[in-house]
Amino acid sequence: TVIKGEGAMVYDGANIIVHYHGVNWNTGEVFDSSWQRGEPASFPTSGVIPGFRDGLVGQSVGSRVFITIPPALGYGPSGGTGDGRIGAEDTIFFVVDILGLQ
């Protein structure tokens, strides 16, 4: 946790609103960023990779978190992403601002 928020706690299955920046640790490539798109993202914590979910559940709205995800909790070892930006053995990380719950 980089900044501890004072809002509601993110629970497993919650629909969250976040800004995030995702980077492939192995290549240094940004593979996804809501900040670069200029608008926050919303999704259920049950609809993301396990490491991302685990890094968000239990955090508070208003927090900024740094989440490091090893391959086993990300896209590997069974494949990676279809576009090849994340390989089966790649560690990825995210900086995430938790903006709210829906």
53 within 8 A of 12, measured Cβ to Cβ = yes
Of how many residues is the chain composed?
102
- pLDDT for res 81: 77
- pLDDT for res 76: 75
Q: Encode burial over 79-90: b for 16+ CB neighbours within 10 A, e otherwise.
A: ebbeeebbeeeb
51 within 8 A of 73, measured Cβ to Cβ = yes
Q: What is the pTM of this model?
A: 0.92
- pLDDT for res 85: 85
pLDDT for 2 beyond 90:
yes
Average pLDDT of the segment spanning 87-97: 94
- pLDDT for res 83: 82
**Which residues, 6+ apart, have CB-to-CB distance to 34 below 8 Å?**
18, 19, 20, 21, 40, 41
3-state secondary structure of 8: coil
Residue with tokens 């494949």: 79
According to DSSP, the residues that pair with 66 across neighbouring strands are 95
Residue range 37-60, pLDDT digits in tens? 999 999 999 999 999 999 999 999
Residue range 58-91, pLDDT digits in tens? 999 999 999 999 999 998 776 677 788 898 889 9
